[in-house]
């Protein structure tokens, strides 16, 4: 399991700077975590550093239920904002 970033991300970049293995990067609409690089901070910190750093609690353990719900939102006409392994799997409702 790895950590993931939810659509609540406000692009502050705090998590990117704190990750000990450079698993976090900026994507088109928000920051994302590469699940193949994230090590859950094992061997570095007692708790996930990204979770510690995030001001809006957007860094959470990867949850298949969240990803499935976000994928469903896409079908309803939303803009993809969550990426996993390069594929869009989530979305945020557009206001315009």
* Residues within the interface to ligand SF4 (CB under 6 A): 2-3, 5, 9-15, 18-21, 23-24, 31, 33, 38-41, 48-50, 53-54, 56, 58-59
Structure token pair of residue 80 = 């993809």
Complex with ligand SF4: residue 31 or 83, whichever CB lies closer: 31
The CB-of-51 to ligand SF4 minimum distance in angstroms stands at 7
Q: Of 9, 62, 8, 17, whose CA–CA distance to 35 is shortest?
A: 62
Complex with ligand SF4: residue 43 or 77, whichever CB lies closer: 43
């Amino acid at each position: 399991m790895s950590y993931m970033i939810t659509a609540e991300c406000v692009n502050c970049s705090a998590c990117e700077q704190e990750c000990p293995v450079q698993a976090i990067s900026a994507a088109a609409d928000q920051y994302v975590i590469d699940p193949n690089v994230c090590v859950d901070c094992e061997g570095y910190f007692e708790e996930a550093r990204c979770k510690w750093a995030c001001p809006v609690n957007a860094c959470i353990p990867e949850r298949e239920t969240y990803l499935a719900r976000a994928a469903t939102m896409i079908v309803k006409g939303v803009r993809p904002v969550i990426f996993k392994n390069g594929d869009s799997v989530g979305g945020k409702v557009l206001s315009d």
